[in-house]
A and B are shown apart, each in its own frame.
Chain A
Amino acid sequence: FEAKWDHASTLKKVIDAVKDLIGDTSWDCTNTGMSLQSMDSSHVALVHVLLKSEGFESYRCDRNVSMGISLNSMAKVLKCAGNDDSVTLRHESESSVVNFAFESHKEERVSEFELKLMNIDTEHLGIPETEYDSIIKMPSADLRRTCADLSQFGDSVTISCAKSDVRFETSGDIGTGNVRLSARGSSDKPETEIAIEMINPVSLTFALKYLNFFTKAAPLSDTVKLCMSNNHPLCVEFPMPEVGYIRYYLAPKIDE
């Protein structure tokens, strides 16, 4: 297996966006790309990352391989790469390590690191295809700000989606807060658009702590998609055009 990115910045951001939620995980490498799927330790959230082979500078995977890696260790290794350095990952069949090589574009500095792989029991679990009742596309910075603002007032947020607006509400010891975002089109700047596709109205409550973890992916994508169905996990997708995506799933709070 050998994969090369032209710039380390994307991989650094991907790892930063998921490492606080999941610790040790397996990267599954096939000829179509690298992916990981992992639940957080409390089984409330699920992370799915896909990095497509066409998003790499060069990519080769002769035999499918599952590499067990501590994401904190991977973040440490990637700290040694400059944002504009190229990154090459190499793993040979049956080897217990993965190699990282960072090269500056003027080629005057090359650094190499070897990370020990871990044995991780991988369960063969899958994410079902779901038809959602409401899908909201919005700027990722808006979601990040909304979750950060409401976190000052409460631990959880109720997201209610109607035909032309979406409302985020919270309440806590010091008071209450809500943010309403109305659908708006923008043909010249699609990344600032707020689009709502509503088949059925949805209202769900989630722990803000997790949503704040998810919005760490905002630097990777100008837009985010919230897909919701009543009593069903929320899907928060950060698309990375031509590269892949990060999808987070979060179980709703259900009244006992």
Chain B
Amino acid sequence: AIFQKVMDDFYVAI
């Protein structure tokens, strides 16, 4: 779940 948060925060809406 932590990895997912890191990647979801990184890959952001444009």
Seen from chain A, the residues whose Cβ lies within 8 Å of a Cβ on chain B are: 39, 42-46, 123-128, 207, 231-233, 249, 251-254, 256
Contacts and interface: CB of A to CB of B under 8 A. Distances in A.
B11 A46 contact: yes
B14 A233 contact: no
A90 B4 CA distance: 36
Interface of B: 2-4, 6-8, 10-14
Contacts of B14: 124-126
B8 to A, nearest CB: 6
Q: Is the interface of B mostly helix, strand, loop or mixed?
A: helix
Contacts, number: 53
B13 A125 contact: yes
A158 to B, nearest CB: 15
B7 A43 contact: yes
Nearest to A206: B3
Contact of A45 (B7, B8, B12, B13): B7
23 contacts: A39-B11, A42-B4, A43-B4, A44-B7, A45-B7, A46-B11, A124-B13, A125-B11, A126-B11, A126-B12, A127-B11, A128-B12, A207-B3, A232-B10, A233-B6, A233-B10, A251-B3, A251-B4, A251-B6, A251-B7, A252-B3, A252-B6, A253-B2
